[in-house]
Structures are given as structure tokens and as C-alpha cells.
Chain A
Amino acid sequence: MARVSRGFHGRRRTDVDPSRLPPGQYVVEDFPVLSAGPTPQTPLDEWSFTIKGAVDTERTWSWEEFLALPSETFTVDIHCVTKWSKLGTTWTGVSVDELLADVETGAEYVSAYSDGGYTTNLPLEDVTDGQASVAYEFGGEPLEPEHGGPARLLVPHLYFWKSAKWLRGLTLLDRDEPGFWETLGYHNRGDPWKEQRYWSD
């Protein structure tokens, strides 16, 4: 058991509606930057977004084509497995439903993949029905590279490692394929309300 450091409270907000905070989380005001690797430097004219894998035909959008897709702006709370939560974050992006609208697939899983080699896996049913999007604006501004720009996955109802930064596409899969952290002890689904942080949870 760790010893308490007298007078240490950390910089956390305590005036928070407890119903908005999953177990074990605390609220931050800033936006911590967590990265498993260097920030990629992909120029926008070389950027593309691809849906591939168990699909009838692959689909790819250039940056301009991607921006031309119907977008939506929404405000959500986000929860990081390292225990910080940030409430009321506003994003603009394209819903995954929109990206899969014309895709024929029998797949039940998705592997999101990013510049730099990061991957994270999700059941298809966690990224459809309005639950996930590919966001390129944060707070009305272009998403900064350190926070995953040009575009990141956003799956706010799961721990934030599922919301892959620097997203380049989704691979649809018939069988689940655990990703970068899911192969190293982190929970396969990562529901913050059930505190699914690790394999043992």
C-alpha cells in the first residue's frame, strides 16, 4: 500500500457530476498527450483513408474527398485508461456509419490502423450506429498532430487508446485481431464504465 503524501491532492476537479465519471477516473482540464511513437509527418496530399479487408471492394478517399463527406459536430466525454477523463470535448468528423454506408461485408471486427504502425481492434458493433467517427477537428480547429491530426478515430464510449491517433484506415475482419496494447495485457474491449482496463478485468 502506497503511503499518502501529506498535502498532496493533484490538480483534479472535484466539482464533477459523479454520474459522468467512470470508476477510478479523475477529471483534467488540460489535454494530456500520450503517444506510443513519434508524431508522423504525413503531408495532406499524401494522406488517404482506406476501408479494406473483408469487403466487396476497397474504398479509399483522399484528404479532399474525405473533407467533402457529410460531417457532424458533437460533444462527448473521453476517458483514458491512465485514469484521466476530459469532459465536454467537441469534435467534428465523419461517422464510421457514413464510411461503411456502401460497403458490403460479413465482418464482425475492425482493426483500426495508423501512421507509425499503431493498431487497435474493435467489434464492428462498437463503431456503428453512431458510436464512432473519424475526427479531424477539435474545438472547431483542425486537429493538432500531437492529438492525432490530421484525423483520428473517436470511440468515446471506450477507453481512449481505442481512439487511434493518426488514423489511416479500417481493416474489416471475420476474426478478432488484438492490437498494439490489446496484445500486451490491456483489455480487449475497454469499457470504462465496467473498468475494463486489463485482461484480468
Chain B
Amino acid sequence: MTPGDQHVDGNAIGGLLEEILVAEPTTAERICQSCHTRHPIGAHRGFRAAGVVLRCPSCGDLAVRVAELPGRLMVEFSGRWIFPQAD
């Protein structure tokens, strides 16, 4: 560790990550990486194929890809996600 390197273990950020990962997803909002519009996740468009795909309602670009694998989920999130914080 060089002087000025201020990192902590990811483990130390666990509390904040937990807050995100247990949040109600459909009222969260997302800013699209392609068209930069902002929509609630509940207003995105969902598709079911081999896995599940969520797309931007404005431009159709990917918001989430999910594969339901045996005993685990593989997920790719795209764009910026905004979660309201509980009071």
C-alpha cells in the first residue's frame, strides 16, 4: 500500500451494498446508458427467453440481463440506478 492509497476492503462497504440489494426494485429509477432518459424500473420492458431481459422503455437498450442458473442468479446491470433511501 503506497502512501495516499486510502482503500478499504469491499467487506467494509457491505452495509451500503446491502441497502441497495434489498431495496424495492420496481420503484427504483434508472438512467439509460444509451439514451440517458430516466424511468422507474417498473416502467421498463421485460422479456423472457433463455434468461430474463429488462430493456429501456425509450430506446430498448439493455437494463438488466438475468440468467437463472442452478442455485444461483447471474446478473448484469446497465446504466445508473437510483434507489430511494428509507427515512
Contacts and interface: CB of A to CB of B under 8 A. Distances in A.
Contact of B67 (A80, A116, A186): A186
Interface residues of B, number: 16
B70 A34 contact: no
A46 to B, nearest CB: 18
A186 B53 CA distance: 14
Interface string B47-73: 111110101000010000111011000
B60 A38 contact: yes
Contacts of B60: 37-38, 116
B67 A38 contact: no
Given A184-B76, A185-B74, A34 B50 contact: yes
B49 A185 contact: no
A44 interface: no
Interface in A19-61: 34-38
A81 B69 contact: no
A184 B74 contact: yes
B62 to A, nearest CB: 8
Interface of A is mostly: loop
A200 interface: yes
21 contacts: A34-B48, A34-B50, A35-B47, A35-B48, A36-B47, A37-B47, A37-B55, A38-B47, A38-B55, A80-B50, A81-B50, A161-B49, A180-B65, A181-B49, A181-B51, A184-B51, A185-B51, A185-B69, A185-B74, A200-B69, A200-B70
Nearest to A32: B48
B67 A185 contact: yes
B80 interface: no
B36 interface: no
Contacts of B70: 198, 200
